[in-house]
Amino acid sequence: MKLSDLHPCNNCGGKLGTTFYVVRMSVAAEVMAPDSDVVKVAMDDSDFKELAHQFLICSSCYTQELCLAEMGEKASINLENSPVIDNTHDS
């Protein structure tokens, strides 16, 4: 089965179609360090991976105005409400 059949558009909830977009968003912060140019990106740090989001966007929504903050909030709520799957034990 194709990913486009399993996962709806994160913006409108509709079908992705054969061509869709993957948008990755992560929180970044300046870190207190001797070097003033140090930036920590959540997507790159295993301790903060939950602050990174990946959205699948249909072609129609991609050409429209998107609210990334709203999609991020929805994704966080969906993650909190999804069942936890334990893949640590082999059957």
For 3-13, what is the mean pLDDT?
83
**pTM, entire model:** 0.65
Where are the chain's structural domains? 3-77
**Contact predicate 12/58, CB 8 Å:** yes
Q: How would residue 5 be classed by pLDDT, with cut points 50, 70 and 90?
A: confident
For 4-25, what is the mean pLDDT?
87
- According to DSSP, residue 67 is labeled -
CA dist., res. 91 & res. 74, Å (int): 33
pLDDT per residue as tens digits for the range 31-89: 666 666 676 676 666 766 677 788 999 999 999 999 988 888 887 777 676 555 444 44
Per-residue pLDDT at 64:
93
- According to DSSP, residue 31 is labeled -
